[in-house]
Copies of this chain bind each other. A is one copy, B any other.
Amino acid sequence: MLLCIVGAQLRDNHATAVYSRPMFGFELVGRCGRARAGLLRTPHGRVETPAFMPVGTQAGVKALTQRDLRETGAQMVLANTYHLMLRPGEELVAELGGLHGFTGWSGPFLTDSGGYQVFSLAPLRRITEQGVHFQSHIDGAAHLLGPERSIAVQEKLGADIMMAFDECPPYPAPHEAVAEATQRTTRWARRSRDAQRRGDQWLFGIVQGGVFADLRETSAVELTAMDFPGYAIGGLSVGEPKPDMRRVIGQLDALLPEKRSRYLMGVGTPLDILEGVARGVDLFDCVLPTRNARNGQLFTSEGRLSIRNARYRRDPRPPDPACGCYTCRTASRAYLRHLHMAGEMAAATLLTIHNLTHYLDTLKQVRQAILLGRFEDFRRLAHRKLRADDPGPTSLVPDE
């Protein structure tokens, strides 16, 4: 039997938080096994965790207006430092009121450090202790992105939560290379913290170490010694086998401080997220629901569905009869298939609305299950349903 607590003391913390409204905070309000239900407070509103953050790379979640996004149940939105420093530039965003004023999204924002994108997108990059020298993928201009510049940009962008600048090594990479990147990540984390000037943003550290237990342990120990208000798990979902990913998350669950929020970066499928929650993770982000929507793939309560499939040509059913989103309330599979095949942008909008709603609703149900002490039942049922899932021919990321 698992230990499930929705403690009176935790509830008291919660109540205090609500009425005294400190700018930032994170409290656990319940747990079930290792799974945690929490409440993250930011200057732009609360985030009930576990939570999924839609990705708004270029200061907008692709194919959605802010009101569509709001209706999916999104709480915190992720924006990409790398993209925004190149276009439109952080100075312009700051001038227009930071990400909140610029985009009109009034809820919390989190910005990444630019580290991951500079490694995966920028041509001609060169890593030194100072940072990463690279050329813009837009106009070829030369840039240096290091801890100081990353924090300066993120302060201009003005997200509620910023990330320390890290080095994310590719997979696979030899132990020695990963060790070096991990040590540098620790040094860069310290410089990121020292570079912070604004007092109204939280800065999270990022644990690296690839799939190597010793490096993950060192990284976690060194990072937590710096006492960040939250910790991200970086360097996963970069091609490593799923069992390795889960092992690393499980290991970090024991190493990261209980009372700080944990954020698993760039993960993932609905089952990946569920397994992350089962190992004590509070926050997730991934392009999967939004990108796959644009490619015609729907995530449903019964598994994935490719709207391109000819079997849906005359299908009058909504994408997911169990879903209450705008798309499922108003559009048939046949109509969505037509719009998608005809190249209509509205297909991307409608599929994105559904996919994000599905992710966010699922996380809400997960949280409820944790609070009710039924997380393991929920997890078992989800595995049974989604294992039978046939990703179909257009699947981009194979499910397990």
In the complex, chain B residues whose CB is within 8 Å of the CB of A345: 62-63, 345, 348-349
Bound together, the chains give a CA A225 to CA B226 distance in angstroms of: 89
* Interface check A212, CB cutoff 8 A: no
* Interface check A360, CB cutoff 8 A: no
Chain A stretch 83-113: residues in CB contact (< 8 A) with chain B: 83, 87-88, 92, 95-97, 102-104
Query: Do residues A346 and B64 form an inter-chain contact, with CB atoms below 8 A?
Result: yes
* Interface check A230, CB cutoff 8 A: no
Query: Do residues B330 and A104 form an inter-chain contact, with CB atoms below 8 A?
Result: yes
* Interface check A288, CB cutoff 8 A: no
Query: Do residues B344 and A96 form an inter-chain contact, with CB atoms below 8 A?
Result: no
In the complex, chain B residues whose CB is within 8 Å of the CB of A341: 87-88
* Interface check A197, CB cutoff 8 A: no
In the complex, chain B residues whose CB is within 8 Å of the CB of A61: 346
- For A92, the closest partner residue in chain B by CB is B314
Bound together, the chains give a CA A325 to CA B326 distance in angstroms of: 20
Query: Interface 1/0s, chain A 336-354, versus B by CB < 8 A?
Result: 0111011011101110000
* Interface check A58, CB cutoff 8 A: yes
In the complex, chain B residues whose CB is within 8 Å of the CB of A379: none
In the complex, chain B residues whose CB is within 8 Å of the CB of A88: 313, 334, 337-338, 341-342
* Interface check A331, CB cutoff 8 A: yes
* Interface check A332, CB cutoff 8 A: yes
Bound together, the chains give a CA A337 to CA B88 distance in angstroms of: 9
Query: Do residues A346 and B314 form an inter-chain contact, with CB atoms below 8 A?
Result: no
Bound together, the chains give a CA A66 to CA B97 distance in angstroms of: 32
Query: Do residues B334 and A58 form an inter-chain contact, with CB atoms below 8 A?
Result: no
Query: Do residues A92 and B334 form an inter-chain contact, with CB atoms below 8 A?
Result: yes
The interface size of chain A toward B, counting residues with CB under 8 Å, comes to 41
A140 vs chain B, min Cβ distance (A): 17
Query: Out of B96, B326, B344, which one reaches A335, CB within 8 Å?
Result: B96
Query: Do residues B346 and A313 form an inter-chain contact, with CB atoms below 8 A?
Result: no
* Interface check A380, CB cutoff 8 A: no
Query: Interface 1/0s, chain A 306-336, versus B by CB < 8 A?
Result: 0000000110100000000010001110110
Query: Do residues A59 and B331 form an inter-chain contact, with CB atoms below 8 A?
Result: no
* Interface check A391, CB cutoff 8 A: no
Query: Do residues B342 and A58 form an inter-chain contact, with CB atoms below 8 A?
Result: yes
* Interface check A60, CB cutoff 8 A: yes
In the complex, chain B residues whose CB is within 8 Å of the CB of A342: 58, 83, 87-88
A64 vs chain B, min Cβ distance (A): 6
In the complex, chain B residues whose CB is within 8 Å of the CB of A334: 88, 92, 96, 102
In the complex, chain B residues whose CB is within 8 Å of the CB of A60: 339, 344, 346
Bound together, the chains give a CA A62 to CA B65 distance in angstroms of: 15
Bound together, the chains give a CA A83 to CA B342 distance in angstroms of: 10
Query: Out of B102, B314, B339, which one reaches A96, CB within 8 Å?
Result: B314
Query: Do residues A346 and B65 form an inter-chain contact, with CB atoms below 8 A?
Result: yes
Name A residues whose Cβ lies closer than 8 Å to a Cβ of B. 58-68, 83, 87-88, 92, 95-97, 102-104, 313-314, 316, 326, 330-332, 334-335, 337-339, 341-342, 344-346, 348-350
Q: List 20 A-B contacts (CB under 8 A).
A: A58-B338, A62-B344, A62-B345, A63-B346, A63-B349, A65-B68, A66-B330, A67-B326, A67-B330, A83-B342, A88-B334, A92-B313, A92-B338, A96-B316, A96-B332, A96-B335, A102-B332, A102-B338, A104-B335, A345-B348
Which 10 pairs from chain A and chain B are nearest by CB?
Answer: A88-B338, A58-B342, A63-B345, A104-B330, A345-B345, A60-B346, A96-B334, A60-B344, A102-B335, A60-B339
